[in-house]
């Protein structure tokens, strides 16, 4: 098989409760185009697959975030992802990174100015079966 990154897009929404900033939610939709695309795994190739993800996360202190995401895709494919992220901020003292009262600052525009762009870092591949050329010649040539 030949492989290449599949054409497609994803849209993400992240939100937090203003009254309880430690609790967050995520919605994501991704769609890819092609005949043999491996969205969930390379053993089950799909045509133009898509998936929707719903997730929640909890940030008790600015240093730690725990989350759970459920992804449902075309062809009744689904998966569940548990995550734990650590976020060390070099410009903040240690005492601010382990205090729950500073979680609210992460949820503001100024508090997230150094955040990386969120995207799917797992490259979704499209496969194409290679055409193999075979040539048969007779054993005896007269």
DSSP E strands in 18-124: the ranges are 20-33, 37-38, 50-61, 64-73, 78-86
Confidence label for 117 from pLDDT (cuts 50, 70 and 90): confident
- Domain-wise residue ranges, the chain: 2-119
Query: Is residue 100 within 8 Å of residue 22, measured between CB atoms?
Result: yes
Average of per-residue pLDDT across 9-38 = 94
Locate 102 and state its tokens.
């500073």
Put simply, whether the predicted model's pTM sits higher than 0.85 gets the answer no
Minimum mean pLDDT among 23-32, 58-67, 93-102, 123-132: which range?
Answer: 123-132
Average of per-residue pLDDT across 66-93 = 94
Domain 2-119 of CATH type 2.40.160.160: yes
**Token match 């939610």: residue?**
25
* Residue 85 pLDDT > 90: yes
């Amino acid at each position: 098989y030949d492989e290449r990154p599949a054409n497609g897009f994803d849209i993400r929404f992240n939100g937090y409760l203003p009254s309880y900033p430690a609790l967050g939610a995520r919605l994501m939709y991704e769609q890819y185009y092609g005949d043999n695309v491996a969205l969930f795994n390379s053993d089950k190739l799909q045509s133009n697959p898509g998936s929707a993800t719903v997730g929640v996360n909890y940030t008790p202190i600015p240093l730690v975030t725990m989350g759970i995401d459920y992804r449902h895709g075309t062809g009744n494919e689904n998966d569940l992802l548990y995550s734990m992220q650590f976020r060390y901020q070099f410009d903040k003292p240690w005492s601010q990174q382990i205090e729950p009262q500073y979680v609210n600052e992460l949820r503001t525009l100024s508090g997230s100015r150094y955040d990386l762009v969120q995207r799917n870092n797992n490259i979704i591949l499209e496969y194409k079966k290679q055409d193999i050329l075979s040539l048969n010649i007779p054993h005896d040539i007269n």
